[in-house]
C-alpha cells in the first residue's frame, strides 16, 4: 500500500507543477463553459445544465485520453518508466496511481462547474447529486483506462496521437456533448451508441434534467465499470517499461476488448432503436429549458379574466410570472423576448373528445389508416393547431398508452394525451360496428383493444379495475340505441353501466358517457357520470335535468362540429376542406381523396343530411339552455369522424358555440380551464398563472371580438418549448 501511496503523491506533485495541465484541466473548460453559456443565451435556470454536461464530458475525455494516455507514452519515450524497472514495482501501482491522481484532479472541476452554474445562472443543484458524482467518477476512470490501453498499444508518440485522436474526435462530436444528438442524422446517432462518451452525456443530462439516478442508467454504469476493469487489466498485461520494446501488431487488437461492453450495447440499441426516442426526449428537455418573455400582449387567463396589456415570463417549462402592464426589462430577467403587440395570449386549448386512430379523411390507401402513423400524426396536428391537450375516448388501448408515454417522455412531440377507454358497450352496441366486419383472425384482438362488453356487474367491475392497473385516465360508457336505418344499436343494460360507474368512482376514474337523446342523458346523470358526451341530438333536454346537471357538476360536451360535419358529408358539401388550417394539417393525399369522394356524391344521402342538420340545431339549442341553467361546459369535437380533423375542428367548435349564442369567454373557458378540471389536471394546464405548465397559444388579433382569430396562430408553446410547427409532421 505504501508503494501505491508514494506513487500517487509523486504523480500529484508532478501534475500540479505542470502549468499546462492546470490550464487544460481548469481554465480551458471554464472558458468553454462561459463562452457556450453566453453565446447560446443560456439565460437563468435548468437550461445551463446542458452546457455543464458538455464541459464535463469534454473535460473527462481530455483528462482520460490525453491526460492518461499521452502522458504515459511521454514517460515511456523519455525513459522515465525505465527507472522504475529496476525497482520492486510492478506496472499495477503505476497505473492505479495514474488513474487516482487523474480522478482527484478532476473533482474540483466538477464542483466548480456545478457551483458556478448554480450561483451565476440559477441552475438547480441536482437532486441526485451523489449519482452525478459517481457517474463523473466512473467516466474519468473508464476514459483513463481507455487512454492507458491506447498508450500501451502504440509504439511511438506519433502513433499514439493518431490513435487517441481517432477515439477522441468521434466521441466529442457524435456523443451529443457538443451537438445535441437528436440533431444528428440517424446513422450518426446509431454509430454513437458504440461510444462510451454517449452514455456519459445521456447520464449527465438525465441527472440534471430528469432527476435520474444510477439505477436509471444501470446498463451504462455497468459498462463503464467493466471498461475500467478491463482497461486496467489489459494495460497491465501490455505495459512496457522502455520505448525500445515494441508491441506486436496482433496485441493491438486487445484495445477492442476494452470497448466490448459498448459494442454489445450499441448492437442492442441499433436493433431496438430506443436511443432515437431517448435522444429526442433529451433534446425536448433542452428546448424546454431557459427563459423567454412574451410581452405587450392581451392575455386571456383561462378563468375569464382578461389583461388588456401584460406579459408572461416562461422559465424551464413553467409559467414563472404574469405581469399586468409593463414588464421588467428582459435583460434583467435574463430572458429572450417574444413581442406580442396586436396579439392575444391564451392557455393551450384542450379537446375533450377525440379519436386519434381515425384520420378524419377518406382514402383508398390503407397507409392512411395505419394507427402507427395516424395516431402520432393526429397528436401532432392537434399541437400544430394550438391544442396542447386532448382526451382520447375509445382508441386502441395499447396504442393510446404507448403514444401517451412517448409524448410524456418527450420522445414524440404532440398534444398531451389523456386516455379514456376502451368503450363499455353492449354486444351489438355502438362501438362494436368498428370490428364487426374484420377478418376472424384479428377480430377478437382488435375488439379487446377498442371495447368492453361485460355480461355481469362483477365482470364490469373487474374490467374497470384491470383498466385502472393499465393506467387509463378515465372510463367511457355508451348509452345510446341509435336513430334510424343503419344506425340502430343494442343499448348497454343499466345494471351493468351502473356497476361500471360505481367501480370507476371507487378507482377515482372519471366516467364519460356517450348519449344520444334526453333519456340517455337522464340515465347518464343518474348513474353518476362525470361528463355527458354529445348530450341530446334528438330531443330537448328537460329543464329539471339541466338543473340537476348544474347542481351535481356534470359536464356537458355537445360536440357540435361532428353533427355539422355529418350534415355536410351526407349533403355532398366539402366546405370544411377549404379552411386554411385544415389544409395545413391534413396530408395532401388524404385531403385529395376526401374531396374527390365527397364531390362524387357516393356518400350523399339527403335524408341523413337533413337528420344531422336537425341534430345540429337541437344540440345548439340544448347547449344554450344548458349554459343558461348553469351546467358546467367542456369542449370536444369527436375528431376522427369524417371531415372532423384533429386540431382545426376545435377552432371551428369554438365558432359554432359563439354562433349558438354562447359568450366568447364562456366558450374559451370550456376549451381551457373547464376541460382541465374535467381531466383532473387544473393545477397544471388550462390557465395562465404562475406555476402552471407553459402551454400557451399566441394568436394574431382579438378572439374576444372575433372568435375566428384563434385560427391565426402566431406561436404555440408546449411545456415551455416554442414549437417549430412546420417540423411537427417531419417526425419519424
In order, the DSSP letters of 488-534 are B-BPPPHHHHHHHHHHHHHTT--EEEEE-SHHHHHHHHHHT-SEEES
Q: What is the pLDDT of residues 539-558, one digit of tens each?
A: 999 999 999 999 999 999 99
Q: Return the axis-axis angle of helices 260-272 and 218-237, rounded to nearest 10°.
A: 150
Q: 48 pLDDT exceeds 70?
A: yes
Task: Sort 441 into a burial class: Cβ within 10 Å, 0-12 / 13-18 / 19+.
Answer: exposed
Strands 306-315 and 318-324, sheet pairing: antiparallel
> Residue 3: which residues within 8 A CB-CB, separation 6 or more?
89, 93
- The CA distance from 93 to 7, in Å, is 7
Q: Which helix (H) or strand (E) holds 324?
A: strand 318-324
Strands 343-347 and 696-700, sheet pairing: antiparallel
> Residue 87: which residues within 8 A CB-CB, separation 6 or more?
none
Q: Identify the residue whose cell numbers are 376526401.
A: 594
More confident residue, 446 or 313: 313
> Residue 147: which residues within 8 A CB-CB, separation 6 or more?
64, 65, 66, 67, 68, 69, 70, 72, 164
- The CA distance from 340 to 387, in Å, is 19
Q: 3 pLDDT exceeds 90?
A: no
The CA distances from residue 120 to 35, 38, 208, 403, in Å, are 14, 12, 17, 38
More confident residue, 161 or 242: 161
Q: Identify the residue whose cell numbers are 376502451.
A: 422
Q: What are phi and psi of 259, to 5 degrees?
A: -90, 0
Copy the grid coordinates of residue 187. 446513422
Q: What is the pLDDT of residue 546?
A: 98
Collapsed DSSP state (helix, strand, coil) of residue 540: coil
Q: CATH assignment of 347-730, given 1.20.1250.20, 3.20.20.140, 3.40.50.970, 3.40.50.10090?
A: 3.20.20.140
Domain chopping of the chain, boundaries: 2-287, 291-344, 347-730
Check if the beta carbon of residue 338 is closer than 8 Å to that of residue 297: no
Q: Identify the residue whose cell numbers are 486496467.
A: 232
Helical spans, DSSP H, in 153-238: 157-174, 186-192, 196-210, 218-237
Check if the beta carbon of residue 457 is closer than 8 Å to that of residue 495: yes
Lowest mean pLDDT among 311-320, 348-357, 427-436, 466-475: 427-436
Q: Identify the CA nearest to 393 among candidates 370, 414, 417.
A: 417
Neighbours of 197 (CB within 10 A): 28
Asked if residue 350 has a cis previous peptide bond (ω within 30° of 0), the answer is no
Q: What is the pLDDT of residue 383?
A: 98
Looking at domain 291-344, what is its CATH homologous superfamily?
Answer: Urease, subunit C, domain 1 (2.30.40.10)
Helical spans, DSSP H, in 456-493: 457-470
Q: What is the pLDDT of residue 243?
A: 66
Task: Name the percent of the chain lying above pLDDT 70.
Answer: 91
The CA distances from residue 429 to 433, 561, 566, in Å, are 8, 23, 20
Copy the grid coordinates of residue 263. 459494442
Question: What's the average model confidence in pLDDT over 371-389?
Answer: 96
Greatest pairwise CA separation for the chain in angstroms: 104
Q: What is the pLDDT of residue 17?
A: 63
Q: What is the pLDDT of residues 324-335, one digit of tens each?
A: 998 899 888 888
Considering the chain, what is the average pLDDT of its residues? Answer: 89
Q: What is the pLDDT of residues 236-288, one digit of tens each?
A: 777 766 766 666 666 666 667 777 888 888 888 888 888 888 888 888 888 88
Report long-range pairs for 495-500 (Cβ below 8 Å, ≥24 apart). Answer: 495/457, 496/424, 496/454, 496/456, 496/457, 496/460, 497/424, 497/460, 497/523, 497/527, 498/457, 498/527, 499/454, 499/457, 499/458, 499/460, 499/461, 500/424, 500/454, 500/460, 500/461, 500/463, 500/464, 500/475
Q: Binning pLDDT at 50, 70 and 90, where does residue 440 land? A: confident
Structure pTM?
0.86
Q: Binning pLDDT at 50, 70 and 90, where does residue 12 land? A: low
Check if the beta carbon of residue 559 is closer than 8 Å to that of residue 512: no
More confident residue, 54 or 248: 54
Lowest mean pLDDT among 86-90, 509-513, 663-667: 86-90
Copy the grid coordinates of residue 663. 359568450
The dihedral through the CA atoms of 342, 347, 352, 356 has a sign that is positive
The CA distances from residue 185 to 181, 283, 478, 717, 723, in Å, are 9, 14, 47, 26, 21
Task: Sort 189 into a burial class: Cβ within 10 Å, 0-12 / 13-18 / 19+.
Answer: buried
Q: Identify the CA nearest to 688 among candidates 318, 301, 274.
A: 301
Amino acid at each position: 500500500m505504501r508503494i501505491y501511496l508514494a506513487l500517487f503523491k509523486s504523480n500529484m506533485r508532478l501534475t500540479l507543477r505542470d502549468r499546462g495541465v492546470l490550464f487544460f484541466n481548469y481554465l480551458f473548460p471554464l472558458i468553454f463553459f462561459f463562452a457556450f453559456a453566453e453565446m447560446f443565451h443560456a439565460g437563468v435556470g435548468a437550461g445551463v445544465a446542458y452546457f455543464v454536461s458538455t464541459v464535463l464530458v469534454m473535460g473527462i475525455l481530455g483528462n482520460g485520453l490525453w491526460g492518461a494516455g499521452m502522458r504515459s507514452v511521454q514517460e515511456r519515450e523519455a525513459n522515465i518508466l525505465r527507472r522504475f524497472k529496476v525497482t520492486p514495482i510492478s506496472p499495477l501501482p503505476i497505473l492505479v496511481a495514474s488513474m487516482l491522481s487523474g480522478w482527484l484532479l478532476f473533482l474540483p472541476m466538477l464542483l466548480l462547474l456545478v457551483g458556478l452554474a448554480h450561483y451565476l445562472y440559477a441552475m438547480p443543484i441536482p437532486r441526485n447529486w451523489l449519482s452525478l458524482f459517481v457517474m463523473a467518477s466512473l467516466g474519468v476512470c473508464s476514459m483513463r483506462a481507455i487512454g492507458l490501453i491506447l498508450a500501451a498499444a502504440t509504439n511511438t508518440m506519433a502513433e499514439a496521437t493518431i490513435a487517441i485522436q481517432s477515439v477522441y474526435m468521434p466521441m466529442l462530436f457524435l456523443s451529443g456533448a457538443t451537438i445535441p444528438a437528436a440533431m444528428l442524422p440517424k446513422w450518426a446517432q446509431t454509430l454513437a451508441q458504440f461510444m462510451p462518451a454517449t452514455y456519459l452525456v445521456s447520464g449527465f443530462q438525465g441527472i440534471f434534467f430528469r432527476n435520474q439516478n444510477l439505477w436509471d442508467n444501470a446498463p451504462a454504469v455497468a459498462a463503464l465499470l467493466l471498461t475500467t476493469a478491463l482497461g486496467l487489466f489489459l494495460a497491465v498485461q501490455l505495459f512496457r517499461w522502455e520505448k525500445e520494446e515494441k508491441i506486436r501488431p496482433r496485441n493491438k487488437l486487445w484495445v477492442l476488448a476494452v470497448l466490448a461492453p459498448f459494442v454489445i450495447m450499441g448492437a442492442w440499441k441499433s436493433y431496438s432503436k430506443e436511443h432515437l426516442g431517448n435522444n429526442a426526449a433529451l433534446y425536448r428537455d433542452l428546448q424546454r429549458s431557459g427563459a423567454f418573455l412574451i410581452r405587450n400582449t392581451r392575455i386571456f387567463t383561462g378563468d375569464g379574466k382578461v389583461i388588456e396589456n401584460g406579459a408572461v415570463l416562461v422559465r424551464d417549462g413553467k409559467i414563472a410570472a404574469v405581469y399586468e402592464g409593463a414588464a421588467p426589462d428582459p435583460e434583467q430577467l435574463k430572458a429572450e423576448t417574444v413581442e406580442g403587440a396586436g396579439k392575444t395570449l391564451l392557455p393551450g386549448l384542450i379537446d375533450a373528445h377525440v379519436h386519434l386512430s381515425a384520420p378524419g379523411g377518406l382514402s383508398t390507401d390503407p397507409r392512411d389508416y395505419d394507427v402507427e402513423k395516424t395516431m402520432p400524426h393526429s397528436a401532432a396536428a392537434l399541437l400544430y393547431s394550438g391544442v396542447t391537450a386532448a382526451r382520447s375516448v375509445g382508441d386502441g388501448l395499447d396504442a393510446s398508452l404507448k403514444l401517451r408515454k412517448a409524448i410524456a417522455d418527450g420522445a414524440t412531440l404532440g398534444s398531451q394525451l389523456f386516455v379514456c377507454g376502451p368503450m363499455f358497450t353492449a354486444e351489438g352496441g355502438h362501438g362494436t360496428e368498428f370490428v364487426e366486419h374484420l377478418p376472424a383472425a384479428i377480430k377478437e384482438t382488435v375488439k379487446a383493444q377498442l371495447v368492453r362488453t361485460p355480461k355481469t356487474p362483477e365482470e364490469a367491475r373487474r374490467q374497470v379495475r384491470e383498466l385502472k392497473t393499465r393506467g387509463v385516465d378515465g372510463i367511457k360508457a355508451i348509452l345510446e340505441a341509435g336513430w334510424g336505418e343503419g344506425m340502430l344499436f343494442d343499448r348497454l343494460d343499466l345494471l351493468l353501466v351502473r356497476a361500471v360507474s360505481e367501480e370507476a368512482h371507487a378507482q377515482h376514474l372519471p366516467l364519460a358517457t356517450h348519449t344520444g337523446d334526453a333519456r340517455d342523458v337522464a340515465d347518464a346523470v343518474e348513474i353518476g357520470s362525470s361528463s355527458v358526451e354529445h348530450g341530446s341530438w334528438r330531443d330537448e333536454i328537460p329543464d329539471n335535468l339541466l338543473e340537476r346537471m348544474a347542481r351535481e357538476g356534470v359536464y356537458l360536451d355537445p360536440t357540435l362540429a361532428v353533427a355539422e360535419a355529418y350534415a355536410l358529408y351526407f349533403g355532398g358539401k366539402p366546405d370544411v376542406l377549404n379552411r386554411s388550417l385544415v389544409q395545413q394539417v391534413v396530408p395532401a393525399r388524404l385531403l385529395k381523396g376526401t374531396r374527390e369522394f365527397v364531390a362524387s356524391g357516393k356518400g350523399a344521402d339527403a335524408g341523413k343530411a337533413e337528420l344531422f342538420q336537425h341534430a345540429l340545431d337541437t344540440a345548439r339549442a340544448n347547449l344554450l339552455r344548458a349554459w343558461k341553467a348553469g351546467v358546467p361546459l367542456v369542449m370536444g369535437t369527436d375528431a376522427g369522424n369524417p371531415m372532423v380533423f384533429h386540431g382545426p375542428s376545435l377552432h371551428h367548435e369554438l365558432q359554432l358555440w359563439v354562433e349558438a349564442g354562447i359568450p366568447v369567454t364562456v366558450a374559451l373557458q370550456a376549451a381551457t380551464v373547464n376541460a382541465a378540471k374535467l381531466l383532473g389536471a387544473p393545477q397544471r394546464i388550462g390557465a395562465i398563472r404562475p406555476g402552471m405548465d407553459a402551454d400557451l397559444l399566441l394568436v394574431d388579433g382579438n378572439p374576444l371580438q372575433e372568435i375566428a382569430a384563434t385560427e391565426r396562430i402566431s406561436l404555440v408553446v408546449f411545456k415551455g418549448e416554442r414549437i417549430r410547427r412546420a417540423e411537427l409532421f417531419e417526425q419519424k
